[in-house]
Structure 1
Amino acid sequence: MDNPFLKPFTTPFDCVPFELIKTEHFKPAILQLIAAAKQEIDTIADNPDPADFVNTIAAMDRAGRQLSIASATFFNLDAAETTDEIQQLAQELSPILAEYSNDIMLNERLFQRVKQVHDEVDTASLSPEETRLLDKTYKGFARNGALLSVENKDKLREIDKQLATLTMKFSQNVLQETNAYQLHIKTEEQLAGLPESILAAAKTAAQQRYLEGWVFTLHFPSFVPFMKYAANRELRKELYLASATRALKDNEYNNEGIVRDIVELRHSRAKLLGYGTHADFVLQERMASSPTIVLDFLKNLLVKAKPHAQQEIVQLKALAAKDGVSEVMPYDHAYYAEKLREATFDLSEEALKPYFPLPQVLEAAFDAASRLYGLVFELRKDIPKYHDEVAVYEVLENGRHKALLYTDWHPREGKRAGAWMTSYRGQWTEDSGQVRPHISIVCNFSRPAGDIPSLLTFNEVTTLFHEFGHALHGMLAETIYESLSGTNVYWDFVELPSQFMENYCYEKEFLRAFARHYQTGEALPETEIDKIVAASNFMEGYQTMRQLSFGLLDMAYHTGKLDAGTAIERFEKDIVHETQLYPDVQGTAQTPSFSHIFAGGYSAGYYSYKWAEVLDADAFSYFKETGIFNPDTAAKFKILLASGGTVDPMELYIQFRGRKPEPEALLKRAGLIG
């Protein structure tokens, strides 16, 4: 079989030739590329010359690059355009790739060479980036079992194979449960309060299923507007329960057992490696270096945010009481919060949407990148794509190729929920010059309907800027070694570039430049811009409490708090009790669909969203002082982005800011202190 992954790509910029790739190509390609990568590793391990940085550490950074591209392509498709066949293949390939990774990390001959370089080479002879890569490589081995006995290495291999299978199964179960549900409404009376644009999308969803009436689903663009605008409380409750019981029901997609297994395996793995808990293991390589530091950080925020959140809920309860609702429940929050927003600020997210058509918002993000970093984005029609809805842009800097950017905006049955940035190829430097990255943004925004383009809520505008910030981190990378490039940084630092970009959405000067009505071209009225800025802290106390609940739950699972005899639902509710602002709804839980920590990279790391908010608020306050597009400040921040993981993140931040970050900027921005 002619396999495109097993020969050089002949596409522009050596991009992935999606039009040639079939599902049956992945397994043989990945297996063959694993074998080739193992040969590269054996060549390094068996090199008769004394180990040095070039023949061992740098050589390892280069090993397996084709495998990385093939596996990245496969798992990116599994997330954005999956099929039953791809999901089955993911179950099969995940443990094989985990085993390959362990074959490297547990290769005694290879480790001895790495250890020799680490112990004997004078770091004064190395560049700072080389020193950083050496340290990261040695720690990678030590933290993944190289110092274990043969017996314990075998145990580690088995744990990692099981974890690879379980995390993939967790994700697939959530997707199955999300896709399986639909709320089919047949009568107009049940649709009171829902805006026309949402009804049009629901009508289209019904037609796609060959049904009369309207269909709402658990996908974000359908679920969120329904919860926010539907006056029918019983239907809000029904949709809420469908979401809050995903992978919790008594069926083949229940994730409770998988959660227990993942938590126990992670704990066993950490103990095997000499750590008290999985959180201890993870946080050794984070800016927040211990569970104690993380928990103190979260609890300090809790103390400051809770009084504000409780006052916000008092206001919502007063509004709900006018409708005869005596006990406000979680499925009432979004509905009455939107009513309170409209009453307080005379601001309706739905009324704003015509001013935020997706193409216009994207152009605004491109414009910000141009003004800050000198980047230009040109749509390319000749780059292969995995779906017709994907667009590909060539990113240029001073007329030179910088990156490829793939964008994929709308929900499909084969796409998991949420929004994310990923890459198909990283960035590195060769003797012949730089190899530039291929970056992707994937979201779930409402589709265009007839002549109406995709119109974004303001929350979706900030989501686009958030993911674009991650993409800039990847696209601006300027390192020698791929494993230190772009977003290969400490996990509690990786959210800084993304959350930093969200700040621009609240800047009046910037909003004036791009918020225009999709039909008339009329600028968003100044009064509405004032309202957006005034409402930027709306429900900030509640939102902070919600994020803290996720962070505390994550830390509880990964610091050994789960007992074998405690039901998952009970455990969750006990842990997040301090953060809860509404009565409990029996039979619901976040845990079984908490993909960030059980299928993503955020285990013992969910706190990093709030941690990075401190960084981004402090960083943006510097821009506010000097000018939000000040070229000198932007040049310094560009260095931070381009440096990736080549410098310790705190040191990198101090180089940019001139000092350590101060939390006061976040607390002031959030309205939690005066």
Structure 2
Amino acid sequence: MPDPNPLLQDYYLPPFSAIRAEHLVPAINVIVLHSRTEVVRITSSQRHNPNWDDLVLAMEAVTSRIDEVLVVISILDGVNTDQEWMDASAQATFRAVEFVRELTSNRELFDCYKTLVESSPAALFDASRQRLLRRTLRKFRLAGIELAPATQKRLTTLDREIAGLQQLFLAQLEAANSAWSKHINDESQLQGLSAALKARMAHKARAVNLQGWLMTLNEEIYRECMAYAQNRLLREEIFTAYNTRASDLGPHAGHFDNGPLLQMLMVRRNQKAKLLGYANFVQLALELQVLDTDAQVLAFIRHQSTALRSDFTHDKQAITTLGRELGLTDLQPWDCAFLAQIIRQRTSGITEEELRVYFPLDTTLPRLFALVGRLFDIEIIEIHGFDSWAPSVRLFQVRGHGEVLGQIYFVPYWQNAGDFPYALSLRNRWTTAESRRVQPMVVLFSQFEGTPDEPCLLGHRQLKILFHELGHCLQQMMMGLGYRTKMGVDDLGMDSAEFCGQFFERWCYSPECLVWLSNHFKTGAQLPETLARQQVVYANTQTSWERAESLTMALFDIEVHRTQGDGRSIEQVFSSANGEIGHLPALDVVRYANGFSHMVSGYECGFYAYQWSEVLARAAFKRFEQEGIFNPETGRAFRESVLAPGISRPLLELVNLFLGVPPGDSV
């Protein structure tokens, strides 16, 4: 008789609504028990003459099952906050993670893979299979498989401590975000803020039985307040609250302080790197990336900083001049975004609110799907009546050439998924030994702000988020088409993974694309071409602040890992990085690092990838600019040259193939 546990069913789409706390631990126990038995069978049969199907694909079946269940549980963690669920989730996750760790410590399994890699048939494998095998051996080695038993035991302890510190960092950041809010009864304090933002804050207030407006540390609210609030004291208050989160400073000083956690995390990551034979954690983290040494990354960051120096000077002079005009002679950090916004409006001749009305999410999304459908010869169809974990979740099926390519769950308003929008891989594409094709599945968490009574209108930044994250999803959908190797975005290096997101953002800077996407939320009218061109001017004005922030955090990310143990505090390393980039204000009253969640969410030593991939994306997009941004032949060439091969070839090689230039000439 089949087990009634929904996590143990043979499902196509996960049965989210049927999963309860009591299902988690029993399901993991059954999966782990079955998987252990299967691993013993695989290693016994593959000890002497391993082959691709009976070793690699058989192990893919083992790991894919437990990986998918872990992702399903993590998604449901966002909606199940009762103690019974949290206890069951923690216990199930721990057992599953321990089993995955056990696999990478399995010497017999490692020897099977090593024997396959060194075999004569493996020399004839295509590039995608060989790359997957190299990455698999690397996972074993990073788990300490070749270390002495005592050293391996110490490495296991360090891994557990690192994981615990990372989880605690995120938990304390979430607690710090939740701890601060500002209740406002006097609407005059909100002068300059849009009606849409005030409606969202009023909705937040009503949700907790308050009149007026409630301001929280949601990133969108923070950014809009910093850019538009005319009340300078209000800007200062929210700037201080946001930039001292989880630290020893600010309104909750000493509560949820992530400073000591970061210091301990840096020590343990450095110890782990040295146990594995690396000079520092940066070298460990960069292995198999496009830029694979700290010297290369630092050279890139410093080159970008130098190239942007004139922009830094120009933008700073512009806000200084405007500040004097408005009587702000003592410019503070909470003035920069506000003054930059005024300059954008004056330079472009428009306001962001004039533009938002043309991009309601409900019509922009299908137009975006139609655009990528035309470019890449695919069709994206909404599916109704599916099983979900929240009412706002939508499901889209991606089809091409008469077959299903994959599924995209779209979560437009999810506010419980971390500090930034992202695409989460739920299932990767691969073909089993029995030739059954497993289609990919992705969840897009956009984290837009909306209310039941107001349409969600997208500014230029929200448009970029939508394009960026959809780029990751489509990369997952089309990666590996025509290949039998398991492929997913998670298998790419950080710099390669971010390339597609940055590449898709480039359409947001095309007036022609903006006109085509637009649909006034009341009249249905398209954005006039004149306004579209003004929108591009608006988006390209006073951009140095965001670039400088990104470069500063990228430099800090590398330096705090590279120089661990030199006696400097986290704050001193950040201050040094900020001073070297030299554009953002140098303040002792902020703690940017304490809220820098990328440091503990898989982007450690990889934050530079946003800037690096943007440079490459700009270069690659030139072909579309030359041949037409809606040109389906160019789109199909990009799909076939860059997306489909996935991990089979280095990214730079794929981009140069698309551009038709010699290797290395694209950037």
TM-score normalised by structure 2 residue count: 0.93
The 2-side partners of 1:531 and 1:661 are apart by 37
Give CA-to-partner distance per residue, 1:301-337, whole Å, 9 cap, x none: 1111123112201101111222221122221121111
Report the equivalent of 1:19: 17
Whether contact under 8 Å (1:81, 1:415) holds in the other structure is no
Give CA-to-partner distance per residue, 1:115-170, whole Å, 9 cap, x none: 22222334343233322222222222223312111111111111111122221121
* 1:575 positional shift: 2.6
* 1:62 positional shift: 2.6
The answer to whether the aligner puts 1:161 opposite 2:160 as a matched pair is yes
| Selected match of 1:585 from 587, 590, 594 | 587
Inter-CA distance 476–230: structure 2 relative to 1 (3 Å threshold): same
The 2-side partners of 1:90 and 1:267 are apart by 30
The 1-side partners of 2:299 and 2:645 are apart by 30
The answer to whether the aligner puts 1:40 opposite 2:32 as a matched pair is no
Aligned-partner SS, 2:591 = coil
The 1-side partners of 2:132 and 2:159 are apart by 24
**Number of aligned residue pairs:** 656
Whether contact under 8 Å (2:357, 2:520) holds in the other structure is yes
Whether contact under 8 Å (1:57, 1:137) holds in the other structure is no
* 1:645 positional shift: 1.2
Report the equivalent of 1:668: none
| Selected match of 1:644 from 643, 646, 650 | 646
The answer to whether the aligner puts 1:528 opposite 2:531 as a matched pair is yes
Report the equivalent of 1:187: 186
Aligned-partner SS, 1:519 = coil
The 2-side partners of 1:586 and 1:142 are apart by 41
Identity, % of aligned positions:
27
* 1:622 positional shift: 1.4
C-alpha RMSD of the superposition: 2.2
The 2-side partners of 1:416 and 1:605 are apart by 18
The 1-side partners of 2:424 and 2:359 are apart by 25
Aligned-partner SS, 1:601 = coil
Report the equivalent of 1:71: 70
Whether contact under 8 Å (2:556, 2:573) holds in the other structure is no
Q: How does 1:663-674 map onto structure 2 within 5 Å?
A: none
Whether contact under 8 Å (2:398, 2:404) holds in the other structure is yes
Structure 1 counterpart of 2:655, one-letter code:
Y
Report the equivalent of 1:551: 554
* 1:49 positional shift: 5.2
The answer to whether the aligner puts 1:506 opposite 2:509 as a matched pair is yes
Report the equivalent of 1:247: 246
Give CA-to-partner distance per residue, 1:3-33, whole Å, 9 cap, x none: 2112222xxxx11101101233223323432
The 1-side partners of 2:394 and 2:621 are apart by 30
* 1:550 positional shift: 0.8
Aligned-partner SS, 1:287 = coil
Report the equivalent of 2:305: 302
Whether contact under 8 Å (1:377, 1:393) holds in the other structure is yes
* 1:291 positional shift: 0.2
The 1-side partners of 2:565 and 2:197 are apart by 41
The 1-side partners of 2:598 and 2:604 are apart by 7
Report the equivalent of 1:654: 656
Report the equivalent of 1:290: 293
Whether contact under 8 Å (1:614, 1:661) holds in the other structure is no
Whether contact under 8 Å (1:94, 1:165) holds in the other structure is no
Report the equivalent of 1:53: 51
Structure 2 counterpart of 1:632, one-letter code:
E
Whether contact under 8 Å (1:283, 1:289) holds in the other structure is yes
Aligned-partner SS, 2:159 = helix
The 2-side partners of 1:612 and 1:77 are apart by 32
Inter-CA distance 208–559: structure 2 relative to 1 (3 Å threshold): same
Aligned-partner SS, 2:491 = coil
Inter-CA distance 271–238: structure 2 relative to 1 (3 Å threshold): same
Inter-CA distance 482–262: structure 2 relative to 1 (3 Å threshold): farther
Aligned-partner SS, 2:572 = helix
The answer to whether the aligner puts 1:327 opposite 2:325 as a matched pair is no
The answer to whether the aligner puts 1:382 opposite 2:380 as a matched pair is no
The 2-side partners of 1:416 and 1:485 are apart by 22
Whether contact under 8 Å (2:512, 2:532) holds in the other structure is no
The 2-side partners of 1:294 and 1:87 are apart by 39
Inter-CA distance 486–592: structure 2 relative to 1 (3 Å threshold): closer
| Selected match of 2:375 from 362, 372, 377 | 372
The 2-side partners of 1:183 and 1:420 are apart by 27
Aligned-partner SS, 1:64 = helix
* 1:95 positional shift: 4.8
Inter-CA distance 318–197: structure 2 relative to 1 (3 Å threshold): same
| Selected match of 1:489 from 487, 492, 499 | 492
The 1-side partners of 2:665 and 2:547 are apart by 14
Q: How does 1:273-288 map onto structure 2 within 5 Å?
A: 273-288=276-291
The answer to whether the aligner puts 1:30 opposite 2:31 as a matched pair is no
Aligned-partner SS, 1:212 = coil
* 1:657 positional shift: 2.3
| Structure 1 spans left out of the alignment, 5+ residues | 666-674
* 1:221 positional shift: 2.8
The 2-side partners of 1:506 and 1:663 are apart by 24
The 1-side partners of 2:519 and 2:630 are apart by 21
Structure 2 counterpart of 1:591, one-letter code:
A
Moved over 6 A (4+): 661-665
Whether contact under 8 Å (1:319, 1:336) holds in the other structure is yes
Aligned-partner SS, 2:327 = coil
Structure 1 counterpart of 2:20, one-letter code:
K
The answer to whether the aligner puts 1:621 opposite 2:622 as a matched pair is yes
Inter-CA distance 294–82: structure 2 relative to 1 (3 Å threshold): farther
Aligned-partner SS, 1:576 = helix
Report the equivalent of 2:609: 608
Structure 1 counterpart of 2:50, one-letter code:
D
* 1:664 positional shift: 8.2
Q: How does 1:180-579 map onto structure 2 within 5 Å?
A: 180-249=179-248, 250-412=253-415, 414-430=416-432, 431-450=434-453, 452-478=454-480, 480=483, 483-561=486-564, 563=566, 566-579=568-581
Structure 2 counterpart of 1:375, one-letter code:
I
Report the equivalent of 2:118: 119
Aligned-partner SS, 1:377 = strand
Structure 2 counterpart of 1:157, one-letter code:
T
Give CA-to-partner distance per residue, 1:284-311, whole Å, 9 cap, x none: 2110010000000100111111231122
The 2-side partners of 1:594 and 1:482 are apart by 35
